[in-house]
Copies of this chain bind each other. A is one copy, B any other.
Amino acid sequence: MSEPAKPAVSVAILGPGTVGTQVVRLLTEHGDDLAARVGAPIAIAGIYVRDTAKVREGIPASLLTSDAESLIASADVVVELMGGIEPARTLILRALAAGKAVVTANKALLAANGPELFEAADAAGADLYFEAAVAGAIPLVRPVRESLAGDHISRILGIVNGTTNYVLDEMASRGLDYDVALEQAQELGFAEADPTADVEGYDAAAKAAILASLAFHQRVSLDDVYREGISAITSDDVVAARETGQVIKMLAIAERVDGGVTVRVHPALVPLDHPLAGVRGAFNAVFVEADAAGGLMFYGQGAGGLPTASAVLGDIVSVARHRAVGGKGPLESNYAAHDVLPMDAALTRYAVRMSVPDIPGVLSKVAEIFARHNVGIESVRQMAGRGHAGLIIATHRAPEGDLRRTVADLRRTDAVDEVLSILRIEGDQ
């Protein structure tokens, strides 16, 4: 308390959008607390915006600049909240090369160009922090990188997209059809007018790449991630899930398997007693399975200006503290060299729902097809209809490739009218 005052740590904000506006407000309003935590005051060096005429309320005009380069040169810490690949990538590389600490919330950039950025940070010995890019306000980077540093993570299952969780939750809890639930999500602002990035899993895939990189100390890029969206999920799938004690969740999965890791995003059946099953509405949660720690779950708001700003502020405090009183974050230790395997190598369980003719001998033909590809059957559920029956076969764990070949044969045999849906079953311990 009686130490001599340290010089301020100066922070450049690039991009005063929804998150940036909240970051500027919190930096200003919580100045005294932040100074105590950092060990020195934080000063906003300036705020870069491409068009200084188009700026939100609450951003002080005196701090605005359209000269990013001079702003970066004048600051100790650069906070990138512009989104998109360029010019964010170039500006971050320039900042790192100049030895500036960088905080970013840009998941698209990290998923696409993460390796390049981390190498630049390593080469310059500069901090690169990105908590807000993973799951909004939910702290994941420090728990996974530091708290679990002595453990082995075997799997991460994440609900990392609020839009899809909201849509699936409305379908499950209110019996809405997919289209109706999506429309409602759009009206309430939980989904964009063009919902493709969310419902087709592109947003979740970017986060899956970042989560897999964190969990397995490895550089995983968006191209390594298998991706399926939720637009094919029907009310029948939802009802069938409930009747078997499960719920459908859109999951981002990074998993250690023999010979490497798999990283994938798709809707999946989750048992109702799994902690992820209880994640409602637009909330996010990440379930981490580690050899010694067992199952851990991290839950909270994965999006939104204010929650995301909380994560950005936490990173600003960390890197500003390193400037003010010394220290440095854990280096990116990408010493692991697992192969990222193709989707055919993923090992999981499946529920295959079919319509079959209601005649004797069908089940034995169907079972033979599963056996032909070494896919073990765990349970069979048959529902009578008029002339046709509904059949749900739940399998034991099997490689995705074997299941794919099984389904191809199911589609060819006359013992099956139609394969209605194939859902992976995740989350059993």
Contacts and interface: CB of A to CB of B under 8 A. Distances in A.
Contacts of A296: 137-139, 298-301
Contacts of A321: 330
Interface stretch (A66-74, A255-263, A311-319): A311-319
Given A297-B297, A333-B36, A30 B150 contact: yes
Contact of A335 (B36, B217, B307, B313): B36
Nearest to A305: B292
A150 B299 contact: no
B137 A139 contact: no
Contacts of A293: 137, 300-301, 306-307, 310-311
Contacts of A39: 331
Contact of A131 (B147, B273, B285, B329): B147
Nearest to A297: B299
A331 B3 CA distance: 14
A273 B131 CA distance: 28
A129 B276 CA distance: 30
A338 B295 CA distance: 35
B298 A333 contact: no
A290 interface: yes
A313 B292 CA distance: 10
A414 interface: no
A339 interface: no
B139 A147 contact: yes
A335 B313 CA distance: 19
Interface in A295-354: 295-301, 304, 306-307, 309-314, 316-318, 321-322, 325-331, 333, 335
A385 B280 CA distance: 38
Contacts of A142: 139, 142-143, 146-147
B310 A292 contact: yes
Query: Chain A: interface secondary structure?
Result: mixed
A149 interface: yes
A294 interface: yes
A147 B314 contact: yes
A1 B275 CA distance: 40
Nearest to A327: B327
A152 interface: yes
| Size category, A interface | 35 or more
Contacts of A148: 139, 310, 314
A307 B143 CA distance: 14
Interface string A7-27: 000000000000000100010
A26 B151 CA distance: 8
Nearest to A149: B317
Most buried by B among A34, A217, A296, A311: A296
Nearest to A32: B335
B326 A307 contact: no
A22 B393 CA distance: 41
A124 to B, nearest CB: 16
Interface in A221-239: none
A50 interface: no
A301 B294 contact: yes
A84 interface: no
A335 to B, nearest CB: 4
Contacts of A285: 297
Contact of A149 (B318, B329, B331, B333): B318
A290 B318 contact: no
A37 interface: yes
12 contacts: A22-B292, A34-B149, A36-B335, A137-B293, A138-B296, A139-B139, A139-B143, A141-B147, A147-B311, A293-B310, A299-B299, A327-B327
Across the A-B interface, the 10 shortest Cβ-Cβ residue pairs: A150-B313, A139-B147, A139-B143, A292-B310, A293-B310, A296-B300, A149-B317, A137-B293, A297-B299, A142-B142
Given A1-B335, A326-B328, 4 more contacts: A142-B142, A149-B313, A151-B310, A292-B313
